Amino acid sequence: MTWYQKGTEGAEAVKDFEEDRASKFGGAYRLWIPAGGSTEFTFLDTEGFFFKEHNYFANRSWMNWETCLQDIGEEDCPFCEAGIRVYYECVFTVIDHAEYESKKTPGRIIKNTKKLLVLRSTARKKILRKRDQHEGDLRFVRMSTHRDDSKECSTGEDFEVVKRHTKAEVAAMAPKEWMGQAITPDVWMEPFEYVKIFQPKKAEQLERILGRVSPVGSGDGPSRSGGEESSEESKGSSNKPAPSVHSLING
Residue number, 51 or 178, with CB nearest to Zn ion: 51
Instruction: Give the chain's largest Cα–Cα span.
Output: 57
Q: Which helix (H) or strand (E) holds 48?
A: none
Give the whole-angstrom CA distance, residue 247 versus residue 17.
Answer: 10
To the nearest whole angstrom, how small is the minimum distance from the Cβ of residue 69 to Zn ion? 6
Amino acid at the residue 186: D
To the nearest whole angstrom, how small is the minimum distance from the Cβ of residue 246 to Zn ion? 21
Residue number, 115 or 212, with CB nearest to Zn ion: 212
Strands 49-55, 65-67: parallel, antiparallel or unpaired by DSSP? antiparallel
| DSSP code, position 58 | B
Candidate segments 14-22, 35-43, 78-86, 91-99, binder of Zn ion by CB under 5 A: 78-86
Candidate segments 30-38, 72-80, 138-146, 199-207, binder of Zn ion by CB under 5 A: 72-80
Give the one residue of 27, 29, 48, 80 binding Zn ion; rule: CB under 5 A. Answer: 80
Give the whole-angstrom CA distance, residue 117 versus residue 110.
Answer: 18
Residue number, 80 or 171, with CB nearest to Zn ion: 80
Q: Shortest CA distance to 247 belongs to which of 85, 25, 61?
A: 61
| DSSP code, position 30 | B
To the nearest whole angstrom, how small is the minimum distance from the Cβ of residue 63 to Zn ion? 18
Check binding of 77 to Zn ion (CB under 5 A). Answer: yes
Give the one residue of 32, 41, 56, 79 binding Zn ion; rule: CB under 5 A. Answer: 79
> Counting Cβ atoms within 10 Å, is residue 203 exposed (0-12), middle (13-18) or buried (19+)?
middle
Residue number, 33 or 84, with CB nearest to Zn ion: 84
How many of the chain's residues bind Zn ion (CB under 5 A)?
Answer: 5
Residue number, 80 or 128, with CB nearest to Zn ion: 80
Give the whole-angstrom CA distance, residue 4 versus residue 244.
Answer: 9
Residue number, 81 or 135, with CB nearest to Zn ion: 81
Task: Lay out the site mask for Zn ion across 40-69 (x = CB under 5 A, - = otherwise).
Answer: ----------------------------x-
Which 169-208 positions form the footprint of Zn ion (CB under 5 A)? none
To the nearest whole angstrom, how small is the minimum distance from the Cβ of residue 80 to Zn ion? 3
Q: Are 227 and 65 in contact (CB under 8 A)?
A: yes
Amino acid at the residue 93: T
User: 72 phi and psi, to 5 degrees?
Assistant: -75, -30
Residues that bind Zn ion (CB under 5 A): 68, 70, 77, 79-80
